[in-house]
Structure 1
Amino acid sequence: MSIVRRLFQREPDPATIPVTHEGIVYEVAVRRMAQARRFTLRVRTASRDAVLTMPQRARFADARDFAERHGGWIAARLSRIPETLDFVPGAVVPLRGVGHAVVHRADRRGTVWVENGEIHVAGDAAFAARRVQDFLKREAKKDLELATRHHAAALGVKVTRITMRDQASRWGSCSSTGAINYSWRLILAPPFVLDYLAAHEVAHLREMNHSARFWRIVRDLCPGLEPAKAWLRVNGAQLHRYGTK
């Protein structure tokens, strides 16, 4: 590399900006985006951190100043994120929107089942949380496959693949090839919320946008979409407090 090129090459940005507020240091993740026109801050519930998005050509020093000026905002938003709750024996899990206590059954072997409004988990207690989470993922896949196939048949479209993920920023996504991804955490929400998300993603197989036509299709598939959207606005972030990433 020539000396001239080295002189004009920009040093890579640090991955985070340390912001101190009332004696506590918050590490703010930084990312440059070509589409960004200004500095923005948001808090990520799943990872319990803050991220600053900056324009591609902005100075990193200005980004640091922006983050430091908003230290109080960052601290306040992060303090509102509820503590995480693992699926250990004694925890209460909202399976399909209804609280179920996790009960360890040392007398049984290697399975998880629902009984009398409780989630029973057999085997070694050390593996109980992981077994319950795996069980919830299987239940999510079963319910979402059923709802997705139902809406796809009603709309006359083809779904090629249904996958469970743990997406922090969205509840579902759909590709033009008919592959649909969902957050397995939807099994923690009431069934009408899960049904709405399935209708939402299936509707994208007709309209890969959020136009008025798209929302008409969603409403035809799921007339009760407004209560579901309202439930997610109020309670959606809480679903990320459960289990492990």
Structure 2
Amino acid sequence: MLPPTVPLIWKRSKRAKRITLRIEPVRGDVIVTLPDHISRDRALAFVHQQAEWITKTLADLQATPELTDGSKVMIEGQSVPILHEPEARRGTWLDEKGLHVSGEASHTARRVRDFLQLLAQERLPRTLALHSEKMNLHPTRLDLRDVRTRWGSCTRAGRIMLSWRLLMAPTNVCDYVIIHELAHLQHFNHGPQFWALVDHFVPNGHRGRLAAERWLRENGTALLRAA
């Protein structure tokens, strides 16, 4: 049963083909997007069917640890311990033991976040370039942004935006999001040809895509909130 205090935000979309749910990672709102032809009552019934997932996701939000000494952060799907090194003079560095952070403890969270963003700027464009060559689809520009509402987007002008937090997701999930956005350079829609192109390039094809989508549904909200 869905708790009565859960905030629901309703959004109508002419482009939507089915009801979708998304948890806003900062406030914890449940955003319900529904096509014009579906009634509010039918959508509400769908929301109640997803009560277990909603309750679990909201609980995970509240349990998200701070980026402090002894806590962990995800990097390419791996849980990496944060190790505060107050006497060190190396800034922030990653090795087989974990993510080391020097300086005052009060600056640890900011330094971890800064390091992750710099690592994303190094690794995500490289991954995009790899898939771009394989697909022979080349964006006009790549922007990495600090967004919590979507993992990626593509404009008609060929500009791709990715959330830097993709760095934290497993590599197969990151690959899927990037391939998805690159595919929009050829098919600016979500029609059958678009999905066929995505499935052709995603590792393990259709099954790989479904696995990546499932991972994002189950873990994406907590990941967006993690840093």
- Fold shared per TM-score above 0.5: yes
Distance 1:216 1:178, change over 3 A: same
The answer as to whether partners of 1:49 and 1:78 remain within 8 angstroms in 2 is no
1:152-210: CA deviation from partner (whole Å, max 9, x where unpaired) = 22333332221223444432111121211112222122222212222221121111122
- Which of the residues 93, 102, 109 maps onto 2:82? 102
The answer as to whether partners of 1:84 and 1:241 remain within 8 angstroms in 2 is yes
State the Cα distance separating 1:53 from its structure 2 match: 6.0
Q: Tell me the residue number matched to 1:8.
A: none
Distance 1:34 1:99, change over 3 A: closer
State the Cα distance separating 1:129 from its structure 2 match: 1.0
Structure 2 residue 162 is the aligned partner of structure 1 residue 176? no
Q: Distance in 2 between matches of 1:228 and 1:69?
A: 27
- 2:70 maps to a residue whose letter is G
State the Cα distance separating 1:100 from its structure 2 match: 0.9
Distance 1:155 1:167, change over 3 A: same
1:75-115: CA deviation from partner (whole Å, max 9, x where unpaired) = 75543121222222111222111121000111124722112
What are the ranges of 5 or more consecutive residues in structure 1 without an aligned counterpart?
1-18, 57-62
Q: Distance in 2 between matches of 1:122 and 1:241?
A: 26
Structure 2 residue 64 is the aligned partner of structure 1 residue 84? yes
Matched ranges for 1:58-207 at <5 A: 77-81=53-57, 82=60, 83-109=63-89, 111-207=91-187
Number of residue-to-residue matches in the alignment: 215
Distance 1:41 1:116, change over 3 A: closer
Structure 2 residue 221 is the aligned partner of structure 1 residue 240? yes
The answer as to whether partners of 1:20 and 1:71 remain within 8 angstroms in 2 is no
**Bigger shift: residues 104-113 or 121-130:** 104-113
**Bigger shift: residues 213-222 or 235-244:** 235-244
Structure ID, larger Rg? 1
What are the ranges of 5 or more consecutive residues in structure 2 without an aligned counterpart?
none
The secondary structure found in structure 2 opposite 1:80 is helix
Q: Distance in 1 between matches of 2:221 and 2:13?
A: 29
Q: Distance in 2 between matches of 1:181 and 1:201?
A: 8
The answer as to whether partners of 1:90 and 1:102 remain within 8 angstroms in 2 is yes
- Which of the residues 2, 7, 23 maps onto 1:44? 23
The answer as to whether partners of 1:102 and 1:118 remain within 8 angstroms in 2 is yes
State the Cα distance separating 1:138 from its structure 2 match: 2.1
The secondary structure found in structure 2 opposite 1:138 is helix
**Bigger shift: residues 90-99 or 65-74:** 65-74
Query: % of aligned pairs identical?
Result: 28
Q: Distance in 1 between matches of 2:226 and 2:215?
A: 22
The answer as to whether partners of 1:185 and 1:240 remain within 8 angstroms in 2 is no
The secondary structure found in structure 1 opposite 2:80 is strand
1:124-164: CA deviation from partner (whole Å, max 9, x where unpaired) = 21121121122112222322201211222233333222122
Distance 1:41 1:211, change over 3 A: closer
Q: Distance in 1 between matches of 2:132 and 2:46?
A: 45
Q: Distance in 2 between matches of 1:50 and 1:192?
A: 27
